[in-house]
Copies of this chain bind each other. A is one copy, B any other.
Amino acid sequence: MLSHTEENYLKALFHLTSEEVSGKSEAGTNELALTLNVKPATANDMLKKLKEKKLISYEKYGKISLTPTGKKQAIQVIRKHRLWETFLYEKLEFTWDEVHEVAEQLEHIQSSKLIEKLEKFLNYPEADPHGDVIPNAKGEMKILTRKTLTQVPVGKTCKLVTVKDGSASFLQYVVKVGLGLSSKIKVVSRQDFDGTMEIEVEGKKSSVSQKFADNLYVL
């Protein structure tokens, strides 16, 4: 059984060594310490312990990576985190930005029955409120083709999960069009010439550029 702290280190390592997230497959001590808000000395001690437990591969002055076992454990924590986020958002009316902090605590609750029942209760969701894939009980993560609005065919309706560009000017534009997290967007038409599209959000129609549509991730 892993301690909360050990679980947090594994989770951080998973993100740091995941090509999709960080673009690298190995992490360093300082980098790890930075993401966990501890001093490098502290992280170093934990690395020794995790190596001892065969959860990471690591040699003195070398790079760090997760062993298959370590990766499995990390994914289980991530699974729990994302299921709890979904619960908080969908059932308890938490907002998008409030879910993370509480899920950081809930992810450490030990009970496989709990997490299976929770998943069932939520009707086996594929992604959390941020649009990140929820691994299944076996730890398999569906490669979620995070589509942009540009890729949605005419006539189809989709749901906004997150934005690529987080700049204030872009976000203000997003709000102006009537969009928010989880907004349903219907693609009414698209010009072949420049990709300009007409969309409908809660009955309100707007015309948006391809550049705009490229910056919206939808599910």
Q: CB within 8 Å of B: which residues of A?
A: 88, 91-94, 98, 101-102, 105-106, 109-111, 113-114, 117-118, 121
Contact = CB atoms under 8 A, between A and B. Distances in A.
A181 to B, nearest CB: 18
A188 to B, nearest CB: 36
Q: How many copies does the complex hold?
A: 2
Nearest to A105: B109
B121 A110 contact: no
A46 B71 CA distance: 38
A61 B110 CA distance: 38
A106 to B, nearest CB: 6
A111 B117 contact: no
Contact of A94 (B91, B105, B110, B113): B113
**10 nearest CB pairs, A to B:** A92-B117, A102-B111, A105-B109, A102-B114, A92-B121, A91-B121, A93-B117, A106-B109, A92-B118, A105-B110
A105 B84 CA distance: 15
A98 B110 contact: no
A113 B111 CA distance: 23
Nearest to A92: B117
A49 to B, nearest CB: 21
A88 B113 CA distance: 11
Nearest to A110: B105
Contacts of A98: 113
Contacts of A101: 111
Interface centre among A98, A101, A117 (most CB of B within 10 A): A117
A205 to B, nearest CB: 35
10 contacts: A88-B114, A92-B118, A93-B117, A94-B113, A98-B113, A102-B109, A102-B113, A105-B110, A106-B106, A106-B109
B118 A111 contact: no
Contacts of A91: 121
Nearest to A98: B113
A201 B101 CA distance: 46
A31 to B, nearest CB: 28
